[in-house]
Structure 1
């Protein structure tokens, strides 16, 4: 089946600076695809090329199998939702949603029908007469999406649309956006620097760094099976150690960290040799904490230490543990059992994790 969006060897240069460097990807019909990366990595440049606001230096962009190079923005079957929603304050909600349809010359009766249908789909029936300033931030977001969706685009581009919302509303809108995407059955391409947004909403995610895609895959692939050190460090939280390979035996890697810890890790198929400089990553939730070392006998990596701080955040609370030699602080997710409810700073504890939970990458590899 032809994807709704196909970008092939997409490159954009501004003078001597390469903002997007030979990027290729496809987005199947009806899916939610996110481009995740830090500020300045090139993700907005990709979106502006898809929308037609920038022309690629080289490469091709196809929508529904047809190249849109040199096609002006208003002739592409693409719409875009920005961080600042740009709803017209002098118009009511219905007029905002129907604006593009009026510009396209649609009959007034048909516009009214499509606007009412869109309001139903976004869960705001009967508010077409209300003013923009009467809406909450989340409602404005839904109206901005409805204004785009009534035009029936093949692809909807969303440029960090939740960035201007407060934290609680952002959390709510992450779920709501995915619901809206399913309701309209339209292909969404979403860019963000917020990993939680991408992980929660997306069918597939491209992690971008310095103009290139580091990895494209599902949220589970990126989180549990990162291809590069950048992905391992950028997606989710991780403890990170730098060091050297002391011994390499197949997938098993014995590492001496620069701070003096010895740990066992896994290469997950990557080629490492004795003496190589590496970075190792372990998720806080992969580390078990115990009062007795005997409880951790099954783990390849064990450390005795002291609690240095407790970062309370309800179910996501975390403790920092410094090993008894004073080498490292390790972040550990705090179990929600009563056994650790009264854990205090300075308490002696033991932590452990399995070697296959320590992802080892050649240092300097992106």
Structure 2
């Protein structure tokens, strides 16, 4: 099946800066594809090139197998939802959704049918006569998507559309957007710097850094099998140590960290050698905590320390444990058994993790 979007060697240069540097990717029909990265990494530049607002310096963009280079935005089967939704306050909801159809010259009967269908799909069948100011933030988001979808684009581009919403509504809209994408069966390209949005909604995610894609994969692949230090540090939370490889046995490493900790970890492939500088990453949820060291005898990395801070966040509560030399705080997720409900700052604890939970990368390889 021809993919909805295929970009080949996409490059965009501004002066001496490569905002997008030789990026290639394919988005299958009907999928939810996110580009995740920090501000200034080039993700919005990619979206603007796909939409036709910018022309690539080099490379090609194909939609449904056809190159759209030099095709103006209004001639591309692409539509775009921005963070600021720009709904027309002088029009009611049905008029907002039908605006693009009127511009295309459809009859009133055709417009009414398509608008009614779109309102049904977004789960708001009875709001057509309401004014924009009468809607909640989430309802406005759905109307903005419906206004794009009635035009039946091959690809819908979404540029950080949840950024202006409050936290609770953002959490709700993550689920809503995924459901809307399935309801319309249209390819969504989603731009965000918020890893939670990308992880929850996407079929595939491209992690972008300094104009390039570091890794493309599912949420699970990015989280559990990062291929670069940047992905390991950017996706999810991690404890990070810098150090030197003392011994190497296949994928297994013995590392001396810069703060004097001996740490056992793993590396993918044969990319590290003895004597090489590395960064090691361990997720807070991979670390076990106990009051007695003997309770952690099955782990090959063990550290004693003092609780320096308790970060209560309900089911996601964690503690910061300062290692025995007092040089680094290690974040540890608390189990929900209630065993540590009385844990206090200053308590002596023991923490441990297995070597396969310590992923190592060459320093500077990000």
Same fold (TM over 0.5): yes
* Unaligned 5+ runs, structure 1: none
2:59 maps to what in 1? 59
Distance 2:142 2:317 in 1: 33
Q: TM-score, normalised by structure 2?
A: 0.99
Distance 1:31 1:270 in 2: 34
Match in the other structure for 1:148: 148
Residue of structure 2 in register with 1:297 after alignment: 297
Instruction: Map Cα deviations across residues 139-189 of structure 1 (whole Å, 9 max, x no partner).
Output: 000000000000000000000000000111000000100000000000000
| Aligned counterparts, 1:68-217, within 5 A | 68-217=68-217
Matched-pair contact (CA < 8 Å) for 1:260–1:327:
no
How far did 1:268 drift? Answer: 2.0
Paired residues of 1:87 and 1:132 also in contact (CA < 8 A): yes
Q: Which residue is equivalent to 1:343? A: 343
Secondary structure class of the residue paired with 1:54: coil
The answer to whether residue 61 in structure 2 is matched with residue 44 in structure 1 is: no
Which consecutive segments of 4 or more residues in structure 1 shift more than 6 A?
none
How many residues get paired?
Answer: 366
Give the root-mean-square deviation of aligned CA atoms.
0.7
Per-residue deviation at 1:328?
1.7
In 1, are the aligned partners of 2:250 and 2:270 still within 8 Å (CA)? no
Q: State the 1:327 CA deviation.
A: 2.7
Please list the CA deviations of residues 184-215 of structure 1 after superposition, one character each: whole Å capped at 9, or x if unmatched: 00000000000000000000000000000000
Q: What's the TM-score once normalised by structure 1's chain length?
A: 0.99
Name the SS for the 1:339 alignment partner: coil
Task: Tell me the distance in 2 between the aligned counterparts of 1:326 and 1:17.
Answer: 42
Instruction: Give SS of 2:314's match.
Output: coil
Give the Cα separation in 1 of the matches to 2:258 and 2:332: 21
**Other-structure match for 1:19:** 19
Equivalent residue for 2:2? 2
Cα offset, 1:325, TM superposition? 2.2
